[in-house]
Structure 1
């Protein structure tokens, strides 16, 4: 005899199991019911066949606990039929986002750097389990306090003692920014100055990003190159010529550069998506020299031990060269990226073009460098004056 989920008594006699008990409503449309192990109302599930993928799509409908027992089937049946029509029309069911961790996973699907931050500071934290509809400012304030108290790892070396330092305000801002972006995708800002105003707990620390404000002009960069030893000089010179993140530059392989077209493919970067850029003559010359006699899978910028550069290996020689050249304290490999972007914006290159080359968004370029674009425009207008 076919299962009839419309009868309350028949539902109550069903065996409690993980797999729902299914009732066929029509071809390609099923309604399922899973009895509660704790004596609750049970859960209704819809199943609809997707001809494009050749698979069924599932969606949990909840328990309809606010309705009387004899009215729940009708409500669930209506939702299941509506869902089947949506799937048959080409729609795709999205996973239900219930917790902060769910929202973060959804946001980080194509953003590896965000996923790495969430793994460190959200998924294993009590905040990750908080229901989105129950999220309050206090939850994020407490998370932020825990984050600020978490030391930053200075040395990732497997050998020797692990060294840490107090988390910098700029690092806190970056960690909060990705969480704020993930939550903004699924939550509207709460009423200001209320517990619902979750966004207020994630406000950035003002004037925290000191590294981005440090600029080395062309003469200073030439001085820096002159103070470097020959092993790291090609890597740093490339950073002075292209506005790439140091990690993305270090991850390049010889096969990523096409000397016939002077094109470079940047694969490992913050965006998570490979991009291909055309190099100017000087930068292309550096790549030609570095890729000479190397296998495609070899590091484009190779250390004397045959390994690629990384944060732990480039940090000390660059710091030593900065000191020897008497450059501003705090100048790092990332300072070179900021300096190059600054020059490109000041030269009047379109912000979208700079964003594409740099591997960031035009919004970020506008936020941090927009004032330079305005200054460049004013200068250009001044040059037109008679």
Structure 2
């Protein structure tokens, strides 16, 4: 079953489309279509499961050969799985180590400059591929999608002995957490992740507060 937060996201365009052709019905009647499509409250709660770097390495090692490059990339960059799956070879510029993320939830293309160690990994993935090919493809050449990556990730989580709630989004959450703990500015993390500062503050603000407490303690006289 899909999570409530996923249902909320999927309902946004449906509510918008219906709102263009239908007037809200009278409350508490069969005509009140808008009431059935109300978003679940509190569904976008903070993601609690975090995998540290050693656990993520174990997960990568336990992943099938086919899915391993895709899963490793999720452990290297704070991208949504869908955005990563949508990357084409032409989105990666070897000379400048720049990666253009065009297909993402927010709909706005953005560019990341990757460190050499991550760029080297991407160079291996794009070798001998056409510019229109997917950087991360399945064995048959098709791009990854949520139905395709779900079970390889679940199988790897189980094989690595990690908490069963682990998913592709757990990896993104873990990378963002590490970036915040490395004291990267929230604005920069939001830009890298393709999300808003408000969302980063909502889900990761507690980490910043912890660091602020440590910083204040360090200057105590």
Q: Tell me the equivalent position of 1:129.
A: 22
Q: Per the alignment, in what secondary structure is the counterpart of residue 47 of structure 2?
A: helix
Structure 1 residues 323 and 368: alpha-carbon distance in aligned structure 2, compared to 1, 3 A threshold:
same
Report how far residue 285 of structure 1 moved.
1.8
Q: Tell me the equivalent position of 2:37.
A: 147
Judging by fraction of residues, say which structure has more helix.
2
Contact 1:211 1:331 in 2 (8 A): no
Report how far residue 352 of structure 1 moved.
0.4
Contact 2:91 2:100 in 1 (8 A): yes
Q: Tell me the equivalent position of 2:100.
A: 265
**Partner Cα distance (1:119, 1:384) in 2:** 50
Contact 1:121 1:147 in 2 (8 A): yes
1:120 paired residue among 5, 10, 14: 14
Identify which of structures 1 and 2 has the higher relative contact order when contacts are C-alpha pairs closer than 8 Å and 6+ apart.
2
1:233 paired residue among 68, 71, 92: 68
Report how far residue 331 of structure 1 moved.
0.9
Q: Per the alignment, in what secondary structure is the counterpart of residue 17 of structure 2?
A: coil
Q: Which runs of 5+ in 2 are unaligned?
A: 1-7
Q: Per the alignment, in what secondary structure is the counterpart of residue 166 of structure 2?
A: coil
Report how far residue 326 of structure 1 moved.
1.5
**Partner Cα distance (1:243, 1:303) in 2:** 21
Q: Per the alignment, in what secondary structure is the counterpart of residue 225 of structure 1?
A: helix
Structure 1 residues 376 and 230: alpha-carbon distance in aligned structure 2, compared to 1, 3 A threshold:
same
**Partner Cα distance (1:213, 1:137) in 2:** 37
Q: Per the alignment, in what secondary structure is the counterpart of residue 290 of structure 1?
A: helix
Aligned residues: 212
Report how far residue 368 of structure 1 moved.
1.2
- TM-score with structure 2 setting the length: 0.85
2:204 paired residue among 345, 366, 369: 369
Report how far residue 212 of structure 1 moved.
1.7
Q: Tell me the equivalent position of 2:4.
A: none
Report how far residue 277 of structure 1 moved.
1.0
Report how far residue 119 of structure 1 moved.
4.2
Structure 1 residues 122 and 254: alpha-carbon distance in aligned structure 2, compared to 1, 3 A threshold:
same
**Partner Cα distance (1:221, 1:301) in 2:** 19
Judging by fraction of residues, say which structure has more strand.
1
Report how far residue 316 of structure 1 moved.
0.6
- TM-score with structure 1 setting the length: 0.50
1:310 paired residue among 145, 162, 165: 145
1:245 and 2:80 equivalent? Answer: yes
Structure 1 residues 213 and 145: alpha-carbon distance in aligned structure 2, compared to 1, 3 A threshold:
farther
Offset from partner CA, 1:34-56 (integer Å, 9 cap, x none): xxxxxxxxxxxxxxxxxxxxxxx
Structure 1 residues 350 and 137: alpha-carbon distance in aligned structure 2, compared to 1, 3 A threshold:
farther
Q: Tell me the equivalent position of 1:212.
A: 47
Alpha-carbon RMSD across the aligned residues, in angstroms, is 2.7
More deviation, 305-314/116-125: 116-125
Q: Tell me the equivalent position of 1:283.
A: 118
Q: Per the alignment, in what secondary structure is the counterpart of residue 271 of structure 1?
A: coil
Larger radius of gyration: 1
Q: Which runs of 5+ in 1 are unaligned?
A: 1-113, 149-171, 174-203
**Partner Cα distance (2:73, 2:157) in 1:** 17
**Partner Cα distance (1:217, 1:144) in 2:** 42
Matched ranges for 1:143-182 at <5 A: 143=33, 146-147=36-37, 172-173=39-40
2:195 paired residue among 332, 337, 360: 360
